[in-house]
Chain A
């Protein structure tokens, strides 16, 4: 029997998620264990990283008033990645934009948002600090600051879930975790070729802006095509850390390929508030990543060594 892609689909982190594993004949039990491990790890990450759950580790840290707080190791690790990403993106990605995001009106989960005029967060400045004590499992956030791990949390959860799959099935041939479009993947596909990842075209429902061929790593897309809110849907959730307001510049969507899904998310967020020239310079300065920059009009713009697929004609039949 040829290998197949065994898949489980579930609801978590406010979106539809799936995990898939390459499995051959006789692998059903190990495949089920790997898929169950992925679901379990995503649930654990959500319990640690969600800002919409008042009992989450992140919410407890946000409301600790600057005190040292015992938190799950997942939050510690995600914070370390997030603050490293802030340094690498020159502050274009900043996990401390939450007060500005709340002032703009994104103050509850998207499905529950009510329309009200946008405000700016008085006195808010980007660049708040966090201290981590990874030995004792403690974190301390600068007093008055608040964190939103948002997309990077999903990217981190996708990578963790893929690790959990491999721990449940040592020697797993290949696997993929998809958290609403944030992807972590590694190993072999059932066809033994690369993973084929479609990039949704935000301008045409159901259409594809390109297909990526990947052997591993992470993929994330950020943009202003969905999750709009405020008067007439005029606002979006991409806050420019320099102004504290929804960003003006930027593409409709940008998809980033990176060695890791959390890294892909952070850079996607940074590029989503950048014009095409700035985005090109950013990718050139970070050779670990590549991107597909989709504007309202015109062809999608590949940046860096983007592994885009091209349809190949095998045979002219007649």
Chain B
């Protein structure tokens, strides 16, 4: 009976080690910031200040940036 328990415990211990290693080596995952409309203060032609709500486009969050690429090294 003692031998059976030893085998069972050994198997569980091995599974636990495998689980810990898998957890420790998972890919790094992060979330991107969520996008939201922006409020801007703009000055109109007659000098008055106005608040405007702007949809993210040229302004606001982007998913990635492209810039000069180098070479594969």
What residues of chain A have their CB less than 8 Å away from a CB belonging to chain B? 4-10, 13-15, 18, 20, 28, 31-32, 35-36, 39, 46, 49-52, 109-110, 148-151, 153-154, 157, 176, 178-183, 185, 189-191, 195-200, 202, 208, 210-213, 219-227, 237, 253, 255, 265, 268, 308-318
Complexed CA–CA distance, A142 and B66 (Å) = 35
Q: Please name all residues of chain A whose beta carbon is closer than 8 Å to the beta carbon of B32 when the two chains form the complex.
A: 4-5, 7, 20, 190
Is B6 located at the chain interface by the 8 A CB criterion? no
- B70 x A8 contact (CB < 8 A): no
Closest B residue by C-beta to A12: B72
| Listed residue (B34, B51, B58, B60) with the most chain A CB atoms within 10 angstroms of its CB | B58
Contact of A8 among B28, B54, B65, B67 (CB under 8 A): B28
- A200 x B29 contact (CB < 8 A): no
Q: Please name all residues of chain A whose beta carbon is closer than 8 Å to the beta carbon of B56 when the two chains form the complex.
A: 196
**A110-B70, A181-B69, A237-B71 known; A7 vs B54 contact (CB < 8 Å):** no
With both chains docked as a complex, state the minimum distance between the C-beta of A223 and any C-beta of chain B, in angstroms: 4
- A312 x B54 contact (CB < 8 A): yes
**A7-B29, A196-B63, A197-B64 known; A180 vs B69 contact (CB < 8 Å):** yes
A-B pairs under 8 A by CB, number: 187
Complexed CA–CA distance, A46 and B2 (Å) = 53
For the A-B complex with A20-B32, A311-B59 known, give 9 more contacts whose Cβ atoms are closer than 8 Å. Answer: A6-B29, A110-B73, A185-B64, A189-B63, A202-B68, A208-B65, A212-B66, A221-B66, A311-B55
Contact of B28 among A9, A15, A148, A255 (CB under 8 A): A9
- B64 x A35 contact (CB < 8 A): no
What residues of chain B have their CB less than 8 Å away from a CB belonging to chain A? 26-32, 34-35, 37, 39, 50-73
- B69 x A222 contact (CB < 8 A): yes
- B27 x A32 contact (CB < 8 A): yes
- B62 x A211 contact (CB < 8 A): yes
Contact of A211 among B26, B50, B58, B72 (CB under 8 A): B58
Complexed CA–CA distance, A75 and B44 (Å) = 58
Q: Please name all residues of chain A whose beta carbon is closer than 8 Å to the beta carbon of B59 when the two chains form the complex.
A: 311
Complexed CA–CA distance, A314 and B54 (Å) = 6
27 A-B pairs with C-beta separation under 8 A = A7-B31, A8-B30, A13-B72, A14-B70, A20-B64, A51-B72, A110-B71, A110-B73, A154-B71, A176-B64, A178-B64, A181-B69, A182-B69, A189-B63, A196-B61, A199-B65, A200-B68, A208-B58, A223-B68, A226-B68, A227-B70, A268-B69, A310-B57, A311-B54, A316-B51, A317-B51, A317-B52
Complexed CA–CA distance, A185 and B65 (Å) = 12
Closest A residue by C-beta to B57: A309
- B63 x A195 contact (CB < 8 A): yes
- A46 x B72 contact (CB < 8 A): yes
With both chains docked as a complex, state the minimum distance between the C-beta of A252 and any C-beta of chain B, in angstroms: 9
